[in-house]
Amino acid sequence: MASSTKNQAFLLGYRAYMAAFFIFLAAPLVAAGSFAFNDSLFPALPWQGVTLDWFFNDSEPKLGMFHDRRLLRGLYYSGIIGGMVALLSVFVGTTNAFLFVRGNFPAKNFFYILMILPLVIPGVILGISILVMASNIANGVEDRFNLELEFLRPGILLVVFGQFSFVTTITSLVITARLKKFDTSLEEAALNLGASRAQVLRTVTLPFLRPAMIAAGIVAFLVSFENFNTTLFLVGSESPLTITMYDRMAKVGSTPVLNAVSFFLIVGSGLLALISVVIQRDPKS
């Protein structure tokens, strides 16, 4: 009897702790998002009433995010970079999955650890090392052949390379996990029924991997979209959204239009993350 009341008190305390944690988790996001709707020039209390001006208004001083050309350009570049990173990293992630699940070659464990490594290298270091190499090549070519290789200077391509360098580890892990669950007797059955290897891959194996590939692509897109550290060193004149927002924060200070962007990104990335979770869920469980 005594132990059950003690247990209940413990459970109650545990639940309170869980509740406190989720409040802690939500508080800054709620603050960042909700001031987008405050009818004021500053993202601070008191609450002045609800407005959608910070999204849709087309004139200063309350220029909404959908009329702010620099923010829109940032959003556009982020989208392009994210899409390229997602495509590239899902492709290499898939070949990596086949390589490590199906392939047999010497020093496989060593190469597997090499594949994991980019995930734990600080993003700042990935950024500077890729910047240094690209500049070395570009300078060398310029000195020797008098040829300017514009694409090796900071810009969209280098940002894509920089993000791709560690995002590929994430996509590889996601797709590898799925391929490990694959029952190879399905492939054998298809082969026995007269299908060619390419047909088996196209009609049996890849459809099985598709949920993991889509989920990996979404995660790659999200990681690329929110990345700052690696991007910071590789960015040229085409700034993606996080860099544009940071510049705005540093130069203009916090304005509610940044809250509008935050709201947009929190909701957008939350929805995409939700899709990536749902899509990977086994229909059975």
Partner 1 sequence: MQSDIKRLSLILLFAPFALWIALLIILPHMGMVVLSLREKVAPRVYEFGFGNYIDFINEPIYWNTLLRTGSMSILVTFLALLIGFPIAYYIAKIAGKRSRGALFLLCLIPLWVSDLIRAFGWILLLRETGVISSFLTDIGLIDQPIEFLYNDITVVIGLVYTVILFMIVPLVSTLDGMDNAMIEAGYNLGGNGFTVLRRIIVPYAMPGIVSGCIVVFMMTAGSYLTPILLGGKNSSWFTEQIYDQFITRFNWESGAAFGFLLLAFTSIVVWIGLRLTGQTLANTVAKS
**In the range 165-224, which residues lie near partner 1 by CB under 8 A?**
165, 168, 173, 219, 222-223
Residue type, 200: V
Write the CA distances from 168 to 9, 27, 78, 97, 213, integer angstroms: 47, 32, 18, 11, 12
Rule CB under 8 A: is residue 274 a binding residue for partner 1?
yes
Q: Is 9 in the site for partner 1 (CB under 8 A)?
A: no
Q: Which of 200, 208, 241 is nearest to 65 (CA)?
A: 241
Is there a contact between 243 and 74 (Cβ–Cβ < 8 Å)?
yes
CA–CA distance, 6 with 19 (Å, rounded to integer): 20
The number of helices, as runs of H, and strands, as runs of E, in the chain is 12, 0
Cα separations in angstroms, 159 against 44, 153, 219, 227, 231: 35, 10, 17, 10, 6
Q: Which of 118, 138, 208, 279 binds partner 1 (CB under 8 A)?
A: 118
Interacting positions 68-107 with partner 1 (CB under 8 A): 91-92, 95-96, 98-99, 103-105
Least Cβ distance, residue 53 to partner 1 (angstroms):
18
136 near partner 1 (CB under 8 A): yes
Binding of partner 1 by 149 (CB under 8 A): no
Only one of the segments 55-63, 182-190, 207-215, 267-275 lies at the binding site for partner 1 (rule: CB under 8 A); that segment is 267-275
Rounded Cα distance, 232 and 122, in Å? 13
By CB under 8 A, tell whether 159 contacts partner 1: no
Contact range with partner 1 by CB under 8 A, out of 36-44, 61-69, 142-150, 208-216: 36-44
The least CB distance from residue 125 to partner 1, in Å, is 5
Of 9, 16, 23, 29, which one interacts with partner 1 (CB under 8 A)? 29
Q: Which of 9, 16, 41, 113 binds partner 1 (CB under 8 A)?
A: 113
One residue of 1, 45, 107, 193 binding partner 1 per CB under 8 A: 45
| 25 is a contact residue toward partner 1 (CB under 8 A) | yes
Q: How far is the CB of 69 from partner 1 (least distance, A)?
A: 20
Q: Is 107 left (phi over 0), alpha (psi -120 to 50) or beta?
A: left
CB of 126 to partner 1, least distance (A): 8
275 contacts partner 1 (rule: CB under 8 A): no
CA distances from 24 to 3, 20, 27, 161, 261 (A): 31, 6, 5, 35, 21
